[in-house]
Amino acid sequence: KAGVTQTPRYLIKTRGQQVTLSCSPISGHRSVSWYQQTPGQGLQFLFEYFSETQRNKGNFPGRFSGRQFSNSRSEMNVSTLELGDSALYLCASSLADPGINEQYFGPGTRLTVT
Amino acid sequence: AQSVAQPEDQVNVAEGNPLTVKCTYSVSGNPYLFWYVQYPNRGLQFLLKYITGDNLVKGSYGFEAEFNKSQTSFHLKKPSALVSDSALYFCAVLMDSSYKLIFGSGTRLLVRP
């Protein structure tokens, strides 16, 4: 069974631009969560989707958004990029309820904003 | 507010010695607790979880964790460390009915040969 895949793996953008990151969950998994990992803030929850519905959202500005498609694939978008958005963005999938069902993480997308 | 704390930024241990990585939590209600490991340039890998039942939870790669309600702790342990265990370890708590995992700041484990 293929694991969680994230594309692209690396990305360099300029301040003010926008970016879209993609996550393909493990087949059969319907929940997708996104996390931001930085050296200073650690791992922070962005949002979680299940069956195309956002069930929870972390404390991030509205520039951060996401969506989930009917095949459970998910995308997150960051508009008007800031230097502080440079981070490793991790996607995780689970069968239904993250925690109750084990979360499987992808390798991440490393975003660098210059 | 629910939170987890990992008081040690780094733990150093010699190969073959037992290791402990500490985690304390603060939650309302019954905690769902987890340990994950992250190797360089990789995503997180699930090690083990506590939801209910026995206080000693066994997980992957010979790791185990002990849930202690009175001390609000969930320390990760392994009887005999391997050099290959060197990695970044995260403790996490699931917020009730929120589908949201809150992670600790991480502890870097360094196992020297």
Q: DSSP secondary structure string, A26-46?
A: PTT--EEEEEEEETTTEEEEE
- Give pLDDT, residue A5: 96
**In this complex, is the C-beta atom of A9 within 8 Å of any C-beta atom belonging to chain B?**
no
Give the nearest chain B residue to A58 (CA atoms): B100
The residues of chain A scoring below 50 in pLDDT are none
Percent of chain B with pLDDT strictly greater than 70? 97
Inter-chain residue contact B106 with A97, CB threshold 8 Å: no
Q: What is the DSSP string of B47-102?
A: EEEESSS-SEEE-GGG-EEEEETTTTEEEEEESS--GGG-EEEEEEEEETTTTEEE
- Beta carbons of B90 and A43 less than 8 Å apart: yes
CB atoms within 10 A of CB A16: 10
Residue-wise pLDDT for B45-72, tens only, equals 999 999 888 899 999 999 999 999 999 9
User: Cβ contacts (< 8 Å) between B29 and chain A: which residues?
Assistant: none
pLDDT at residue A107, as a whole number = 93
- Report whether pLDDT(B97) > 90: no
The larger pLDDT score, comparing residue B112 to residue B94, is at B112
How much is the pLDDT for B96? Answer: 65
Instruction: Name the residue among A50, A102, A107 with its Cβ closest to that of B42.
Output: A107
Q: Is A99–B99 a contact, with Cβ atoms under 8 angstroms apart?
A: yes
Q: pLDDT digit string (tens) for B17-46? A: 999 999 999 887 778 899 999 998 778 999
State whether B46 and A48 contact (CB < 8 Å).
no
Taking CB atoms and an 8 Å cutoff, what residues of chain A touch B98? 56
* pLDDT at residue B29, rounded to an integer: 78
Q: Output the pLDDT for position B99.
A: 74
Mean pLDDT estimate for chain B: 92
**Among B residues 12-41, those touching chain A with beta carbons less than 8 Å apart:** 32, 34, 36, 41
